[in-house]
Amino acid sequence: MDSLKRSMARDEKRFGREYDLDIFNIVAVSDFNFGAMENKGLNIFNDKLVFAQPATATDADYENIERVIAHEYFHNWTGNRITCRDWFQLCLKEGLTVYRDQEFTSDERSRAVKRISDVVTLRSAQFPEDGGPLAHPARPDHYREINNFYTPTVYEKGAEIVRMLATLLGEAGFRRGMDLYFERHDGEATTIEAFLAVFAEANGVDLEQFKTRYLQAGTPRLTVTDSYDAASQTYTLKLSQETLPTPGQPTKQELVLPIKFGLIGPNGSPMGWSAVSGGEVQDDMIVLRDASAEITFSGVANKPVPSLLREFSAPVNLDTDLTQDDRLFSAQHDSDPYGRWQALQDVATALAVDAATGKARSDAAVDGLSRAMADTLAQQEPRRCLQGAGFEPAGRSVDRADHRQGYRPRTHSRGP
């Protein structure tokens, strides 16, 4: 009940959506072969996603209950009042509703921990699918069995596509599009094209190339190299993208990639620039639309360390020529928590691989990793609890739950 009340409050606040009936039922069913199902006014759940006993439930159980109750409730607008014209549009309601439940958890708990845990899920479940024989677009164009549509690509990659749309349009622009979507399509069974059209119209932008994201399978590889010219005080990033062929799609088109970034100066502070040329840069975001771009920043007094793909702003595999020292520097100074986490992962993984392959251990690198981890722990952001939730199950430390469960693999409980 606590999860439901907070879901309702959040949907009113974030998306202006109120519940429309006098009654809302949550039904728990044992031996339910899905996670849950959003039947209008009567949401049905696998009982493990409703019942929790403090003596036996883990922190992750509580988080999953909160998340899935929210997900099914959010379907009342994105799934029930506006539904799918046909099965091929499944991502219209699922990608969007997963995005909405991710934002709910981010707002209620820790945004950084939630993002990191979603990236871990995406890379462990969706990237392998996207790179293997079962690769398919977020909007598939054929099927043998409808149950096969309930995939990490339709759900998690679908959510990433909506997230990129929100990143490209900004919070206000995304809300304008959502408002128009609800206004125009309430009561309809509609399509992904119609969904994109309202964002294009509400913001006066062309989303034709962006639509490729829904139609093209595969995870792009983004390669970035950098160079610094001290004499002219210019810093250059060379970017290129490539998506390898997937079954049934031998040739790939270039995708729109929103790449959030920052430049970190020698003292660890953010660095600015006086002018930029050679590519599309909007504040803290590079938008790559072509196969490659060479972007030059002027008025850069020292060689910076780049923080690339902040917040994991696009689902890609990133290749850079950053050194281990650069990564250790990012691990200590990046203001983006995801970037800091990724840098720590990269350094630790490289050390583990070296150790496993019998290479001599670099004590300096191990010390650097320890220091970076210690700095991160020392600089912990103010804790954010479930204050105002109005309900705290006996025997459970909400505060602890808030900070410990982000690194656990997410339970794959889903339903229509």
Interface positions with Zn ion (CB under 5 A): 94, 97
CB of 159 to Zn ion, least distance (A): 10
Q: Measuring CA to CA, which residue among 233, 290, 292 is closest to residue 256?
A: 290
Q: Which is nearer to Zn ion, 84 or 276 (CB)?
A: 84
Within 10 angstroms of residue 194's Cβ, the number of other Cβ atoms is 16
What the block records as the tokens of 233 is 């005080």
Q: Which is nearer to Zn ion, 43 or 405 (CB)?
A: 43
Q: Measuring CA to CA, which residue among 16, 69, 18, 70 is closest to residue 178?
A: 16
CB of 71 to Zn ion, least distance (A): 6
Evaluate whether 64 touches 49 at the Cβ level (below 8 Å). Answer: yes
Residue 273 CB burial class (10 angstroms; 0-12, 13-18, ≥19) = middle
Q: Which is nearer to Zn ion, 195 or 338 (CB)?
A: 195
CB of 302 to Zn ion, least distance (A): 48
Q: Which is nearer to Zn ion, 45 or 338 (CB)?
A: 45
Which is it for the CA torsion 37, 43, 44, 48, positive or negative? positive
Residue 46's beta-bridge partner residues?
29
Q: Measuring CA to CA, which residue among 235, 268, 266 is closest to residue 334?
A: 268
CA–CA separation, 42 vs 240, rounded Å?
48
CA-based radius of gyration for the chain: 22
Question: 203 Cβ partners below 8 Å, 6+ apart?
Answer: 169, 173, 176, 177
Q: Which is nearer to Zn ion, 34 or 273 (CB)?
A: 34
Question: Which of the following is catalytic: 72, 108, 156, 160?
Answer: 72
Q: Which is nearer to Zn ion, 94 or 226 (CB)?
A: 94
Q: Which is nearer to Zn ion, 192 or 237 (CB)?
A: 192
Evaluate whether 346 touches 329 at the Cβ level (below 8 Å). Answer: no
Which amino acid appears at position 141 of this protein? Answer: D
Within 10 angstroms of residue 233's Cβ, the number of other Cβ atoms is 16
CB of 65 to Zn ion, least distance (A): 15
Q: Which residue has the tokens 């019998």?
A: 358
Q: Where are the beta strands (DSSP E) in 284-348?
A: 285-288, 292-298, 305-308, 317-320
Evaluate whether 214 touches 193 at the Cβ level (below 8 Å). Answer: no
Evaluate whether 115 touches 312 at the Cβ level (below 8 Å). Answer: yes
Q: What share of the chain is helix, strand, coil (3-state, %, to 5)?
A: 45, 20, 35
CB of 131 to Zn ion, least distance (A): 25
Q: Please tell me whether residue 10 adopts helix, strand or coil conformation.
A: helix
CB of 155 to Zn ion, least distance (A): 7
CB of 148 to Zn ion, least distance (A): 16
Q: Which is nearer to Zn ion, 97 or 203 (CB)?
A: 97
Q: What are phi and psi of 234, to 5 degrees?
A: -120, 145
Annotation marks residue 208 as catalytic: no
Residue 227's beta-bridge partner residues?
236
CB of 19 to Zn ion, least distance (A): 17
Hey, which residues are catalytic here?
Answer: 72
